Amino acid sequence: MSKVGIMGGTFNPIHMAHLILAESAYEQLQLDKILIMPSKKPPHKLHEPIVSDHHRKEMVKLAIEGNPHFELSLMELEREGITYTADTLRQLAKDFPENEYYFILGWDSLQQIEKWRDPDVILRLSHIVAAGRYRSPKDKIEQQAHHLEEMYHGKIHLLEIPNMDLSSEMLREHIKEGKSIRYYVPNQVAQYIQEHGLYKD
């Protein structure tokens, strides 16, 4: 049985905190690989300006280039309609039942997961791997993890990662304001954003 991590998100754009979170999960949970999976239309971001699927896919490819245990998955980008994690896990469980899945997310998502579609399915079909954002209260994270394990009989793993208060929204604002995003994203991603004039309006 392979232990497969799933790192989902709009990646609008992908940045260093995404990559550090995924790499930390790979190392600390001894995963075999991690699927970096751009989402098409997440329900909580329907009104957020998102650059094209093509641009997000290309930025992810550039960001993970050279990392043998990261793999780009187009599963959600190629599925029409709104993107629901439960649907993705159902499909993966059907197509690759031999794998054990580890769904990687941040503290903010861990707080909201019960509001997602079919949280019982998500916790039944995957381990949840969570990390706190900068200044996230450790006791609240542990309390939420315990609640989810009790309520859904799920398996929650809490990662130890560096504090990084970094978001795609912040980077989009930096670009609009003409500020540098150097060291916030891989160099190739920064060059791609500049070459294609992304996020300037």
- Given a cut of 90, is residue 138 above it in pLDDT? no
Please, what are the domains in the chain? 3-165 (3.40.50.620)
25-77 pLDDT, tens digit per residue, is 999 999 999 999 999 987 877 677 899 999 999 999 999 999 999 999 999 99
162-197 pLDDT, tens digit per residue, is 777 789 999 999 999 999 999 999 999 999 999 999
Gap between the Cα atoms of 174 and 133, Å rounded: 20
Gap between the Cα atoms of 192 and 57, Å rounded: 12
How much of the chain, in percent, has pLDDT values that exceed 70?
Answer: 97
99-127 pLDDT, tens digit per residue, is 999 999 988 899 999 999 999 999 999 99
Per-residue buried b or exposed e for 95-122, using 16+ beta carbons within 10 Å of the residue's own CB: eeeeeebbbbbbbebbeebeebeebebb
- Given a cut of 60, is residue 133 above it in pLDDT? no
Q: Supply the mean pLDDT for the chain.
A: 93
CA distances from 134 to 38, 78, 138, 161, 167 (A): 24, 33, 11, 10, 11
